[in-house]
Structure 1
Amino acid sequence: MAGGNTLLNALIGAVVAVVLAFVPFSPVLGGATAGYLQGGDQSDALRVGALSGLLASIPLVLLMLVVVTVLPFLPAFGLPGSMTALVAVFALIAFALILLYSIGLGALGGILGRYITRETDF
C-alpha cells in the first residue's frame, strides 16, 4: 500500500475510475481504491476519495471547456443565437451536476474503502 501519500492514492483511484468508466458508478470504485490505499481515519478517506473523483473528472472538464468555447460560435442546428446561449447554459448545468456526481461518489467510495481496510485483514 502507498500509506498516507494522499495525492498518489487519489491519482491511483482516479485512474481506476477512468479505466472503469464503462461501469455504472465507477467513481465509487475509484474512491474506494483510494480510500483503501490511504488508510487513516474517516476524514482522510473522505478527502482522498473526493480528490480522486475530482481528478477523474479532468477529462470531462477538458471536454466541457471545448464545448463551451466552441458552442457560442456555432449556430445551434439552425436555431437563433438566443437558443444557442440557452443550450450553452444547459450544458454548463449538466457539467456541474456531473462534476458533483463524480466528486460525491468518489467521497462515498473513499469511506467504503476505509471501511474495507478496517473490517478486513487484507
Structure 2
Amino acid sequence: MNTDNTLLNAAIGAVATIGLSFTGISPILGGALAAYLEGGETGDGLRVGALSGLIASLPLAAVVVLGLAVFSFGGDIGVAIGGGLLLLAIVAVAVGYTVALSALGGVIGIYVKNEL
C-alpha cells in the first residue's frame, strides 16, 4: 500500500502506535510504518514520523483537559495552579518522547524502504 497522502500515512502510523503501545517501542514502530508507506527521502520520513507521533499524542490531550478540570475544582487556588502546571510538564515530556521516537522510526522506515 503506497499512498501519496502524508496525513493518511501519519494517521495509519498513529493508529499503529496506539495499537502497539504494549510493546514499549510503539512510537518507533508507528513512525516506521508511516514513513514506509510515505516513501521518499530521509527528511520526508522524519516529517511523517513526527506527524504520526503528534497525532498519536492527541488522546493524551483529552486526558490533560480532564485532569486540568479535576485539579481546578480544588479548594486552594495555589494547589490547582501547581497541579495543572505539573500535569502540563508531564504531558510535554510525554508528547516530546512520542514525537521524537516516532521521528526516529520515520528515518528507520525510509531506510528500510530504500535499502530492502
TM-score tier, shorter chain, comes to over 0.9
Superimposed CA distance per residue, residues 60-110 of structure 1 (whole angstroms, 9 cap, x where no aligned partner): 0111111112211135xxxx4423321221111001111111111111100
2:13 alignment partner in structure 1 = 13
Q: Which aligned segments of 4 or more residues in structure 1 are displaced greater than 6 angstroms? A: none
Q: The residue matched to 1:4 in structure 2 has which SS?
A: coil
62-71 or 14-23, which deviates more: 62-71
2:110 alignment partner in structure 1 = 114
Shift of 1:3: 2.9
20-29 or 10-19, which deviates more: 20-29
Question: Given that residues 16 and 29 in structure 1 are in contact (C-alpha distance below 8 angstroms), is that contact kept between their aligned partners in structure 2?
Answer: yes
1:95 alignment partner in structure 2 = 91
* TM-score, normalised via structure 1 length: 0.88
Structure 2: how far apart are the matches of 1:3 and 1:40?
11
How many pairs were matched up? 116
Task: Quote the RMSD (CA, aligned, Å).
Answer: 1.3
Compare the two structures and name the one with the higher helix fraction.
2
1:86 alignment partner in structure 2 = 82
Question: Given that residues 4 and 40 in structure 1 are in contact (C-alpha distance below 8 angstroms), is that contact kept between their aligned partners in structure 2?
Answer: no
Percent identical across equivalent pairs? 44
Write out aligned runs for 1:1-122 (5 A).
1-75=1-75, 80-120=76-116
Structure 1: how far apart are the matches of 2:39 and 2:3?
7
Shift of 1:2: 2.5
- Report the residue type matching 1:61 in the other structure: A
Structure 1 spans left out of the alignment, 5+ residues: none
Structure 2: how far apart are the matches of 1:24 and 1:95?
17
- Report the residue type matching 1:28 in the other structure: I
Structure 2 spans left out of the alignment, 5+ residues: none
Structure 2: how far apart are the matches of 1:71 and 1:46?
36
